[in-house]
Structure 1
């Protein structure tokens, strides 16, 4: 572990673990404030690996995006010969994946998540950042239950009107143009956010299958349906928004800013985010 990190922070218990490292709780030696530190052992990453590129990319992009109340913030980066450490905001409340695994959200609850999520996405897009891996696991909450968009390891910075290539994302949430091998833009994030909205309201994915191949085939067909057993009490307004976010033709799909301006999103925003 970096000597500089140990000088500036007291690193405590592990609170998470990934393929290449751990996330621990830490405290500032100066203020005593709580943070999280993501520590990656560099020997586990090949020098020319995609994972190594993603890790360094993540730190840079998080610094570009700061500060925003709904984007997780990186405070310090430490690197030595063996380790790379990112000191980030501590988000120790259950993430969105945990919350949607427990129950279905009503429309007000879903909106209370969608508004800050789309504000975070729109902020990214204004700065030329495309997340490319939006899913409930990457929607975190701090101790005050404020939403924080996280995990920018797959993100890319683009210039205006520049297109991206490469199959990146997660089954269920990846946009059809990504799977089709076409060039794509920031609207892949809007598609993924639309899938998240559908899942919050129903507890199921709009495009599903029994294997990754079947899921991808369903996503490519993009045959959006609203089964009565899930949508019997869902308003026409949210169905309209879902159609516009989960539009197979990306040129007709809403932008993040347009989603924020949709009538359903502009309704009562006073509901608190469900725990």
Structure 2
């Protein structure tokens, strides 16, 4: 989602790999409620940031479940608002709108809100390790490479079957969870 994750802390094993904690300056105030979502989600720490959005770890105030909230940065450009709308349309179409099961290798949109110019996408939270760190620490064993590539290719087959082309496949846009051995394609801005 146009998101650059902070490098995960160095660990001795893949199972110990955890998301890097946000710095105090990057964290939203504890319990801040996302605007425009009728108080449905409380923001936590920043887990990623890119040119066009900031992604927060968040909690549903109704279910208590963990989610990711992608808060689009305010841009005055019509081009940027069009990109936000296009990503949302793409993600909704990829989810199948209830006509078929969600693909386990493509990020799922759970909720959307627009409050004035502020747009928030509520996405499934997917715990993963920083790709560069995992690679440097040689955590990608042959079975993990196999799982990563299988998930990437299954996600791409799903995307392409719906006449979409991602156009920005790179390690930061294909998240990987070592414990689940699952890859997840994110960031449909392009």
- After TM superposition, the score normalised by the length of structure 2 is 0.70
Cα distance per residue 1:4-42 (max 9 Å; x no partner) = 325111122211112233111111122111000010133
Which structure has the bigger radius of gyration? 1
Hey, which of these two has a bigger chunk of strand by percent?
Answer: 2
- Is 1:137 aligned to 2:172, yes or no? yes
Question: For structure 1, which segment, 141-150 or 54-63, has the greater mean C-alpha deviation from structure 2 after superposition?
Answer: 141-150
Q: Counterparts of 1:136 and 1:111 in 2: how far apart (Å)?
A: 15
Tell me which moved more, 130-139 or 97-106: 97-106
The structure, 1 or 2, with the larger RCO (C-alpha pairs under 8 Å, 6+ apart) is 2
User: Structure 1: which 5+ runs fail to align?
Assistant: 155-275
CA contact (8 A) 1:41 1:82 kept: no
Within 1, Cα distance between the matches of 2:50 and 2:71? 10
Alignment of 1:29-178 (within 5 A): 29-42=61-74, 44-47=75-78, 49=79, 51-66=80-95, 67-103=102-138, 105-141=140-176, 144-154=180-190
User: Are residues 1:8 and 2:40 paired?
Assistant: yes
Q: Quote the residue 1:26 is aligned against.
A: 58
Q: How far apart, in 2, do the equivalents of 1:38 and 1:73 lie?
A: 12
Report the CA distance between 1:81 and its aligned residue.
1.4
Q: Where does residue 28 of structure 2 map in the other structure?
A: none
Q: Tell me the equivalent position of 2:19.
A: none
TM-score (norm: length of structure 1): 0.50
Q: CA RMSD in A?
A: 2.2
Name structure 2 gaps, 5 residues minimum.
1-32, 96-101
Bigger helix fraction: 1
Deviation per CA, 1:37-77: give whole Å up to 9, x if none.
010133x2412x2x332222111111111111111111111
* Residues 58 and 101 (structure 1), Cα distance of their counterparts in 2 relative to 1, 3 Å cut: farther
Cα distance, 1:120 vs. partner? 0.5
